[in-house]
Structure 1
Amino acid sequence: MAVLNKIRQRSVFLIVIIALALFSFVLADLIRNGGAISQKAANTIATINGKEIDRTDFAKKVEAASRNFGPNGSNIQTVNYVWNQEVRQIVFDGQFEELGIRAGADEVNNLLREGLANNPTFQNEAGVFDNAKMQEYVASIKSNPVAYQQWTDYKISLGKGALEQTYLNMIKAGVGVTLKEGELAYKMENDVVDIKYVQLPFSSIEDADVNVSDAEIQAYVDKHPELYKAEASRNMRYVFFKEEPSQEDEDALTADVAKVIPEFKTAENIEEFINVDQSSALKYDDRFVFKKDLPTTVADTLYNVPVGEVFGPYKDGKFIKISKVVAQTQLHDSLKASHILVSWKGLGTAGDTERTKEEAKTLADSILTVVKSDKTQFLTLAKDFSADTSNKDKGGDLGYFSPGRMVPAFNDYIVDNNVGDMGVVETAFGYHVITIEDKKNEQKAIKVATVAQEIEASEKTINTIFTETTKFQIATKDADFAEKAKESEYVVRPVNKISELAENIPGLGTQRSIVQWAFNEETKIGEVKRFDVTDGYAVVQLTAKASKGIQKVEDAKASVKPILIKEKKAEMLKKKIAGSALADIAKNQSQTVKTASALNMKTPTISGAGTEPKVVGAAFALETGGVSEPIVGNNGVYVVEVTKKTPGSGLDTYMSYAAQESKTQANAVNTRVFKALKEAAEIEDKRANFY
């Protein structure tokens, strides 16, 4: 009791102690996990205009999109697709909210009617969209969460589409062209000028004779920073160790395959021997082939092997093979036939026909009777009855084809019968009324049975390759990567300017893990790592890091240097021009005076010089007979003399030109608006941390 009384007396003190203990426990857990704010940041894949994109929600959308892309879409392609959708939605939503744009229920319902009008599920007996049918459908899927969510998402997407269209239409309404601008468009197209000119081409001075310093390139980049923005990038180099069979592996497989020859010669059931007993990598193909169909390297020999004999072992691509000539015959290598395909209900070729198989057979036999007595009826009957839409309008003409190309029963009929013969053959497509039109180039054909085994790396070879890879990896940690590769005669492959969201490494294919490693903050320049890649290993070294910003001189040089060379050439050529008469200028520079007629500003192309908008524009600014100062164009320096100016005849109204210009500008709104909104948005992109 005394103890209990003491506890009661100190109850407040104990409560405080327990609270502090609990608080310290929670605080320690927060610190251990980076804190609540840090955890939230870790689950945020991006922030766009202050709106955070949750990692989990983004992942769900990527998963859904990947199903639509199918097996051909890569993960990064899918991520980029979803990313663009998210950016578009957020930047547009900001505009909708700011302007108070809303999509009403009636508007969405109208869009639903338009979008579903041709869907039979939502049509009544008259083939017209029925709102009751739509309501019935929605009620039927409410018990299916996935289907109902898809329907909800569809309605939301329609609403957002309506909002976006309203917003863009508001902008388009402000994009107008006056009649004066229409008149200008008319003049650009119809006012013409004739000129004489002398061109001093840039090509008359060799690039090597023009010096451009790194300082000049840097100055140009500093002057035009908006043109030379650079994303973060990495440079690396690698050596690829391919897991491929050795000569020892090939020789061992050749010896093993050779042991099969005695059994192969005496095998009675060839197909079972190849497909089952030997588990051949290539299955038995029971057809006759010509010399041209045989492996090129052994065609001459194999074509002349006696029936029953075995040839090989021989290497063909990635296989070791032995081949036995099973049979020999004479075949035409080119066949020509026409057919009328009569289908019946239940076949893939049936379309909307309701006839039974028995009715189809009766019809096919009737058609055969008619065409046998009058071949000219084949064309008409094919149009009327053939289910083969690819050739029914050509009288069922299949053209020339090689033996074995058609399904077996069809092929056998043509091979076994003569030109002019007609008959009915049943296949999985229906009944074919066939007429054999032609057979050409009869020659020897052989039926070849082949046991093929793929040449694969043995466990010993795989272990050897792994050992070589590991040795090289270890050796490069304390030595020059390139020198060590050279010592072992390995090929070093450089990879430059890889971006943070890249996934393909030239020569290695899709290798997202390598890119992620290169961009990891803990990966240092010079660091080496081995990666398991398709068909082997890659030992990779990170060689350089570049942060987001303005391009360095060495990166900008390829694009800036030609610009500066052109500018310097222009100054050099301008200094060479002496006199004002075209004939004197041409003579002094070993050029000729050329002429160009009917030039306009809409398509400013000068015959013999190319597209030169500055030159044509300068010509229009001169009076007839006037001679220009030197003009720097796209392809050289020009001096122009105007010989004739012919204005367009004019129009009573320029409404049509104004309307066309207005339409052109309005059509550009959709892409330009999104581009502008995206560029103006504040975007913090962390996708590379998760993908």
Structure 2
Amino acid sequence: MAVLNKIRQRSVFLIVIIALALFSFVLADLIRNGGAISQKAANVIATINGNDIDRTDFAKKVEAASRNFGPNGSSIQAVNYVWNQEVRQIVFDEQFKELGVKVGADEVSQLLEDALANNPTFQNEAGVFDKAKMQEYVATVKENPVAYQQWIDYKNSLGKGALETKYLNMVKAGVGATLKEGELAYKMENDKVDIKYVQLPYSGIEDTEVIVSDAEIKTYIDKHSELYKAEASRDMRYVFFKEEPSQEDENALNTEMAKIISGFKTAEKVEEYVAEQNSAVKYADRFVFKKDLPATVADTLYNVPVGEVYGPYKDGQFIKVSKVVANTQLPDSLKASHILVSWKGLSTAGDVERTKDQAKVLADSLLSVIKVDKSKFLTLAKDFSADTSNKDKGGDLGYFPPGRMVPPFNDYIIENNVGDMGVVETAFGYHIISVEDKKNLQKAVKIATVAQEIEASEETINAIFTETTKFQIATKNSDFEEKAKESEYTVRPVNKISELADNIPGLGSQRSIVQWAFKEETKTGDVKRFEVKDGYAVVQLTAKAEKGVQKVVDASPAIKPILIKEKKAEMLKSKISGSTLDDIAKNQSQTVKTASALNMKTPTISGAGNEPKLVGAAFALETGKISEPIVGNNGVYVIEVVKKTPADGLDTYMSYAAQESKSKASTVNSGVFNALKEAAEIEDKRASFY
């Protein structure tokens, strides 16, 4: 009782203690999971101007984009596509809201009508768009949530496109050109100047004579840092261990294939025998020429007697055993013409409504006409043939090798003489065939082949894995390059891989390797083994470069030629001496050249190239005066203006102003988006999720 009394007396105290314990439990759970803020952050893939992009919604769009890209598209391509769409939508939506740009329901309806006008699904019997047909379609797809959502998305996309068009048209309206700008454009095109000049080309000084230091390159980068921005990147190197069959695997398969020779030789039904052996190559019941046989064994196989078996032999990644089934004499080149008569239901039918029986009657009728007068083949092919690829050529198929056409078509030409005509049925319809020519009669053979792919055995696969593991362990505390040399492995460097890259040269799409290289815990020098297509890659991270300005070593290939040209210009300027062009040319072993009718719109000088600075200086120089040295694109110049010919002028410069307006407007679509994107505050976390 005493104990119970004490508990009652301290009940408030106990409640506080329990509450604190519960709070600490919840707090500890929040801390362990990163807190509520981190939980939210984990579901945000990017933030653009304060707008969060939800990870789940983004993933759904990436999945849809991946389906559209098909098997040839990578996941990161889909990610980048969706990303650009999201950025575009957010930065443009902000502009729409700020300016009050809207698209009404009536506008969207009209856009739908315009977009669907030529779709037969929404046309009436007269072939005209019918709004009732569209409403009927929408009512039908509502029963299918996926299809209905696709319809809504399509409708929304038209509205968004219209909004963007309105906004961009407003921008275009503000980037027109005045009549004064039109006049300037006219003058730049039509004012002319004639000059004499001496060129001291940069090529006159070897690059090796000019020294550019790293300090000079660094100074140049500092002055032009905006031009030499660098994204975060990683350098790595790897050794690829390919899972491929060993010589022992190939020898074992050779032994196995040799066991079938006697059975293959006595087999009467070769097609069944090839199938029973699970051959990687199916039996082809056709004749082939020597050139069609495997190059390494063509001479031997071509001359094997009928019924005999040759092999085993290696052909690429296969071990093969071949039996010569038959031989004959065939022309290696055939020529024919045809008229294809199709019927409803065939892929070649188009709008044809005739039945198969009607097609047969028509084909026989056409054949009868052609047999009487072959000259009518040309016009009848144009009028009746369903083969649009050659109907306008009178059905002429040109020359082709035996076996190129479908079997019934091919067999007819082989079995008949030049000049014969007949009707043959194939999966495409009825063909009225005329055999035009056959040439180069020669021996052809029919070959049955059992082929098995040379594959790595389990022992070989295990050995490759062991070899890979040993190399990986050996490089943990040793030089990667040296260890590779010891075992004669090829080390492949991979430089400047970006955070969202997914392709590793030589390995293909390997997103996991890129993600590993960019992990904070991955240090320079770390080595890891990755399972890749056809084997393993042991990869070492060799360098990290964070976002910022390019390093000297990276920017050097672009900047060094610029500085070399600048130094050459100073060297050439210092060599110039003389008061006339003739003196200057003579002193530098050059000649005085002339250039006539130069204009500022296309400042190209024959024999010197594109030189806008030179042409601009010529228009600013008085006639008869000699210029100071002019540093151009291809050398240093001294010029003398011989004659200036101003353009006559126009009554109005409206047409030139219109051209300038059109030229400026053509850059708006891409320019506006790029400007909005550059001005946006973007926190991109894609690399953390993909």
Give the TM-score taking structure 1 as reference length.
0.97
Following superposition, the deviation at residue 4 of structure 1 comes to 9.6
Q: CA–CA distance in 2 between the matches of 1:339 and 1:36?
A: 75
Alpha-carbon displacement from aligned partner over 1:118-159 (angstroms, at most 9, x marks no partner): 222333333333333333322332232222222222222222
Q: CA–CA distance in 2 between the matches of 1:467 and 1:17?
A: 59
Q: CA–CA distance in 2 between the matches of 1:344 and 1:444?
A: 39
Q: How does 1:650-665 map to 2 (within 5 A)?
A: 650-665=649-664
Following superposition, the deviation at residue 370 of structure 1 comes to 0.7
Aligned to 2:32: 32
Aligned to 1:437: 436
Deviates more, 1:613-622 or 1:675-684: 613-622
Following superposition, the deviation at residue 465 of structure 1 comes to 1.0
Alpha-carbon displacement from aligned partner over 1:170-197 (angstroms, at most 9, x marks no partner): 1111112111111111111111212111
Q: How does 1:407-418 map to 2 (within 5 A)?
A: 407-418=406-417
Q: How does 1:161-200 map to 2 (within 5 A)?
A: 161-200=161-200
Q: Is residue 2:541 matched to residue 1:542?
A: yes
SS in 2 for 1:296: coil
Aligned to 1:593: 592
Q: CA–CA distance in 2 between the matches of 1:360 and 1:133?
A: 35
Aligned to 2:68: 68
Pair 1:203–1:366, CA change in 2 (3 A): same
Deviates more, 1:6-15 or 1:504-513: 6-15
Q: CA–CA distance in 2 between the matches of 1:416 and 1:219?
A: 81
Alpha-carbon displacement from aligned partner over 1:627-685 (angstroms, at most 9, x marks no partner): 21111111110111122222223221110010010011011111101000111111111
Alpha-carbon displacement from aligned partner over 1:521-573 (angstroms, at most 9, x marks no partner): 01111110000111111100001100000001111111111100000000000
Aligned to 2:576: 577
Deviates more, 1:635-644 or 1:334-343: 635-644
Alpha-carbon displacement from aligned partner over 1:296-345 (angstroms, at most 9, x marks no partner): 11111111111111122211111111211111100000000000111111
Q: CA–CA distance in 1 between the matches of 2:227 and 2:267?
A: 74
Alignment RMSD (CA, Å): 1.7
Q: How does 1:191-340 map to 2 (within 5 A)?
A: 191-275=191-275, 277-340=276-339
Aligned to 1:512: 511
Aligned to 1:497: 496
Following superposition, the deviation at residue 450 of structure 1 comes to 1.2
Deviates more, 1:503-512 or 1:245-254: 245-254
Aligned to 1:467: 466
The alignment-based identity, stated in percent, is 83
Q: How does 1:332-351 map to 2 (within 5 A)?
A: 332-351=331-350
Following superposition, the deviation at residue 29 of structure 1 comes to 1.8
Deviates more, 1:182-191 or 1:99-108: 99-108
Aligned to 2:388: 389
Q: CA–CA distance in 2 between the matches of 1:258 and 1:237?
A: 44
Following superposition, the deviation at residue 103 of structure 1 comes to 2.0
Q: CA–CA distance in 2 between the matches of 1:377 and 1:18?
A: 104
Q: CA–CA distance in 2 between the matches of 1:580 and 1:508?
A: 64
Pair 1:300–1:624, CA change in 2 (3 A): same
Pair 1:488–1:655, CA change in 2 (3 A): same
Alpha-carbon displacement from aligned partner over 1:582-640 (angstroms, at most 9, x marks no partner): 11111111111111222111111110111111111111112222221111111110111
Alpha-carbon displacement from aligned partner over 1:49-94 (angstroms, at most 9, x marks no partner): 1111110010011011111111111111110000000000111111
Following superposition, the deviation at residue 455 of structure 1 comes to 1.1
Following superposition, the deviation at residue 250 of structure 1 comes to 1.3
Aligned to 1:563: 562
Aligned to 2:687: 688
Following superposition, the deviation at residue 418 of structure 1 comes to 0.5
Q: Is residue 2:127 matched to residue 1:121?
A: no
Q: CA–CA distance in 2 between the matches of 1:355 and 1:3?
A: 104
SS in 1 for 2:296: helix
Q: Is residue 2:96 matched to residue 1:96?
A: yes
Alpha-carbon displacement from aligned partner over 1:430-454 (angstroms, at most 9, x marks no partner): 1100000011111111111111111
Q: Is residue 2:43 matched to residue 1:48?
A: no
Deviates more, 1:17-26 or 1:241-250: 17-26
Aligned to 2:110: 110
Q: CA–CA distance in 2 between the matches of 1:266 and 1:138?
A: 66
SS in 2 for 1:60: helix
Amino acid at match of 1:643: V
| Alignment gaps of 5+ in structure 1 | none
Give the TM-score taking structure 2 as reference length.
0.97
Which 4+ stretches in 1 moved above 3 angstroms? 1-22
SS in 2 for 1:494: strand
SS in 1 for 2:237: strand
SS in 2 for 1:72: coil
Q: CA–CA distance in 2 between the matches of 1:122 and 1:419?
A: 52
SS in 2 for 1:71: coil
Q: CA–CA distance in 2 between the matches of 1:580 and 1:164?
A: 61
Following superposition, the deviation at residue 14 of structure 1 comes to 5.7
Aligned to 1:627: 626
Following superposition, the deviation at residue 472 of structure 1 comes to 0.5
Q: CA–CA distance in 2 between the matches of 1:28 and 1:529?
A: 35
Following superposition, the deviation at residue 238 of structure 1 comes to 0.6
Alpha-carbon displacement from aligned partner over 1:398-447 (angstroms, at most 9, x marks no partner): 11100001000000000011000000101111110000001111111111
SS in 1 for 2:643: strand
Following superposition, the deviation at residue 294 of structure 1 comes to 1.0
Pair 1:3–1:135, CA change in 2 (3 A): farther
Q: CA–CA distance in 2 between the matches of 1:122 and 1:255?
A: 66
Q: CA–CA distance in 1 between the matches of 2:471 and 2:4?
A: 74
Amino acid at match of 1:400: Y
Amino acid at match of 2:486: E
SS in 2 for 1:288: coil
Pair 1:8–1:381, CA change in 2 (3 A): farther
Q: CA–CA distance in 1 between the matches of 2:396 and 2:15?
A: 97
